[in-house]
Structure 1
């Protein structure tokens, strides 16, 4: 091999092979170091995974340093491995400090594990969300109202941590709110930031409950500043509202024995409690002369302006709606009443369409 050959030539083209292998094996410390290094690189992601990786790597590099000091008798081996041990210790201390800095109370820690950790929300982002609600868990005693229909203003967004809350409207039960669900997500989504409004439902605690709440103004400022948090709340609120809608659908299925579609128009007016006295008072007014189609029609037909017409089409016959059964009744009678009302709704709507009034 020439003296002017490069290092690459000596490694690739003219390798120096071992003329003889050592008869004795390395000590147990060397093999333990290799096993610990392999185990360290098998760690997972996240804060806990990083702590595991650097903790095991620290032990592995320390074993390699001991091997270089005791068996290999190489000063360079010992120095390099001790430097790697020092670097791993510094990184490990930094991770433990971050973990302690992002420590939360028990309720908020459980909330993070149940809600945010499956979505891989970083602890730093979750800390901003918790900071916005001032890290306070508020109690709600049994039979205490969180909101009263038509009286309580919509000025906050709350999240239930424990207990069960009953939602009702006009004294009629709608659905329950269970732990790790928003208490007032429909009201929050239905009201623009620049407007004010009141609750259209009553929320009453059936058991001792606890919840966290964000003030409306503070939360809107946070959502405007942090785009990631705004998207996160959009997803959580959308999922929560869909759960409440399907809870209403399941309630109707359990009540009458048949499944309704939540997209039916004016479903609440068809299935809601009707006052027989009010309808008896309205009956003479309906029979006096032709009237516009009643509340059986969908919302978009009611609001459409009617064009002038020389020949007024006959109005659909006004039917007297029977009183609705109570919420705890079910069976053949209640099912037949609902089917009759649904037939009235469909018949009135089809008559209106056949007259061509919606095309004018």
Structure 2
């Protein structure tokens, strides 16, 4: 290394200095070390990475960091330039920190995986685009329920405030301490209550054009069942007010959402009917009649929540 420095100094001393060659390279030196060439190749790759590429920020920081690492090795081990070494090492560590941040933010979390599964199983078959689905998810929030936690309490929890989809886990629905059915992953938690509230509000709007009067006449009903977690569960929940505003601005997505609600109610009724047919003498037979009647929206309407699906 010392020999190389002495050689460079001698070359500097022996360089010709003439007025004719001023501003031009009269004597070219040999190419620098391979580390220097690799460093510049990495910089070129970082500049050539297309910004439309999905992982553009990650690739940019990887190539820049690798390039400055090679510059640090070249300046510290080959040419022994402390100022170049300090600057190159500084750029390397800054890129390393930024790379760690980007990598951490891009790691697929368990929640994102569950949301992707929900999209693929429920919304993608109905041709809902991923950006539309992401906007729908952003309107709500994801939260968990521990085992035995209650999502809704019979006769106490008001309807019309929220609606949810179960992302992961299992819930059970009870009416007067009798098991009605279970709720599995990617199913709506309270589709009958949502349908009841939505139709009630629609009926009120058709009878009253004033938003203030609608708000004053809105009397919240309560859940007629108890919904609790059988195991640790994860839910995607929407505030009904925010969800309604979002769906009003997206008619196509609103129609798909209502379709999913209707299908979910039909599946729940089918599950209940199978349970009753398998054991007609069970205590649920009498209680189930009250449960179905309670989830109907209007006795004078030809489109009730459950019977006409």
Paired residue for 1:162, among 158, 161, 168? 168
Structure number with larger C-alpha Rg: 1
Which residue of 2 is the match for residue 94 of structure 1?
52
Distance in 1 (CA, whole Å) between partners of 2:247 and 2:286 is: 33
Task: Give the alignment partner of residue 190 of structure 1, picking from 168, 183, 196.
Answer: 196
Shift of 1:107: 2.2
Deviations 1:195-248 (A, max 9, x none): 321101111111111111000110010011111120111111011000000011
2:183 corresponds in structure 1 to: 177
Once the two structures are TM-superposed, the CA of residue 96 in structure 1 deviates from its matched residue by: 3.4
Aligned to 1:209: 233
- State the distance in 2 between where 1:164 and 1:207 align: 6
Alignment of 1:1-360 (within 5 A): 94=52, 96=54, 105-133=112-140, 136-154=141-159, 155-191=161-197, 192-193=200-201, 195=218, 196-256=220-280, 268=286
Tell me the CA shift for residue 97 of structure 1. Answer: 7.4
Aligned partner of 1:335 in structure 2 is none
Q: Per the alignment, do residues 94 and 167 of structure 1 end up closer, same or farther by CA in structure 2, a change over 3 Å counting?
A: same
Pair 1:93–1:120, CA change in 2 (3 A)? farther
What is the TM-score with the length of structure 1 in the denominator? 0.44
Which consecutive aligned stretches of 4+ in structure 1 deviate over 4 angstroms post-superposition? 269-272
Q: Distance in 1 between matches of 2:288 and 2:162?
A: 32
- CA–CA separation in structure 1 for the residues paired with 2:195 and 2:258: 9
- Indicate the SS of the match to 2:195: helix
Q: Aligned Cα RMSD in Å?
A: 3.4
The separation in 1 between residues aligned to 2:268 and 2:189, in whole angstroms, is 10
Gapped runs of 5+ residues in structure 1? Answer: 1-88, 259-266, 273-298, 301-360
- The one of the two structures with greater contact order (alpha-carbon pairs below 8 A, sep at least 6) is 2
Kindly tell me: are residues 271 and 129 of structure 1, through their superposed partners in 2, closer, same or farther at Cα, counting changes over 3 Å? closer
Residues 1:202 and 1:270: Cα distance change in structure 2 (over 3 Å): closer
Aligned residue pairs, count = 176
Q: Are the counterparts in 1 of residues 175 and 287 from structure 2 also a CA contact under 8 Å?
A: no
Higher helix share: 2
1:122 Cα deviation from its structure 2 partner: 0.8
SS of 1:151's partner is coil
Inter-CA distance 270–172: structure 2 relative to 1 (3 Å threshold): closer
1:260-298: CA deviation from partner (whole Å, max 9, x where unpaired): xxxxxxx746878xxxxxxxxxxxxxxxxxxxxxxxxxx
1:140-198 superposed Cα distances (whole Å, 9 cap, x missing partner): 11111110011001210111011111111111111111110010000010122353211
